[in-house]
Amino acid sequence: MTTFRIAPSILSADFAHLGEEVKNVVAAGADIIHFDVMDNHYVPNLTIGPLVCQAIRPHVQVPIDVHLMVKPVDRIIPDFAKAGANIITFHPEASEHIDRTLQLIRDNGCKAGLVFNPGTPLSYLEHVMDKIDMILIMSVNPGFGGQSFIPQALKKIEQARRLIDESGRDILLEVDGGIKIDNIAAAAKAGADTFVAGSAIFGQPDYKAVIDAMRTQLAA
């Protein structure tokens, strides 16, 4: 049976009370904390870096999944590893040497993954599957929370699931962008096992109610 993981994106949390927010969302049942890093260069928004990762680390017992939307990628990786990241993913277009960046993440003791924008083909995986621990399919264009799910992502999730099954490796298949209670089951049916949700969770007063409702959908 598939283990499903809910990964709240703290991009939609109240940054004035971030420590409380991460504690509350973990208490509400989050399996992973999704940490969106934007640089106002690779994407048109600016968010949080290793200092904030380090600050929240003592408050969460679950893995921190760092989604790098930055260019260049490599020089920030050791800092995130030191700050307590467990998984680090990056966009292949943002790295000059994808294999080297994946290896760098692993050498720093973290799990490594590639992120695919809606317009980016999965062919980047072809020669690096042996270094991949997570595939992240974007179901919005990166840069902002609160956007609508792009349905074409479902086909790509199916394609990624086939590649994972063929590889026989233990690789998480995460989907990110516009995930809500009413579309999470479709993403799971396509083959995703890890679900990022920002506005759907932090936009509601009762985080546990949303996470429970998502799990109910996944169990159906």
Residue 182, both tokens: 């009413």
Shortest reach from residue 7's CB to ligand DX5, in Å = 9
The percent of the chain in helix, strand and coil, each rounded to the nearest 5, is 45, 20, 40
Element (H, E) at 105: helix 98-107
d(C-alpha 47, C-alpha 36), whole Å: 7
Q: Is 99 a catalytic residue?
A: no
> Would you say how long the chain is, in residues?
220
**Per-residue x/- marks for Zn ion, 42-81, CB under 5 A?**
-------------------------x--------------
One of 19, 44, 121, 146 touching ligand DX5 (CB under 6 A): 146
Shortest reach from residue 86's CB to ligand DX5, in Å = 16
Q: Does 117 bind ligand DX5 (CB under 6 A)?
A: no
Q: Indicate which residue of 130, 176, 193, 212 is catalytic.
A: 176
Find where tokens 């040497």 sit: 97
Which among 208, 197, 195, 185 has a CA at the least distance from the CA of 147?
197
Asked if residue 19 belongs to a known ligand binding site, the reply is no
Q: Which stretch binds ligand DX5 (CB under 6 A): 47-55, 101-109, 116-124, 174-182?
A: 174-182
CB atoms within 10 A of CB 112: 22
Give the binding site for ligand DX5 (CB under 6 A). 9, 11-12, 34, 36, 67, 140, 142-143, 145-147, 176-179, 196-200
Residues making up the binding site for a divalent metal cation: 34, 36, 67, 176
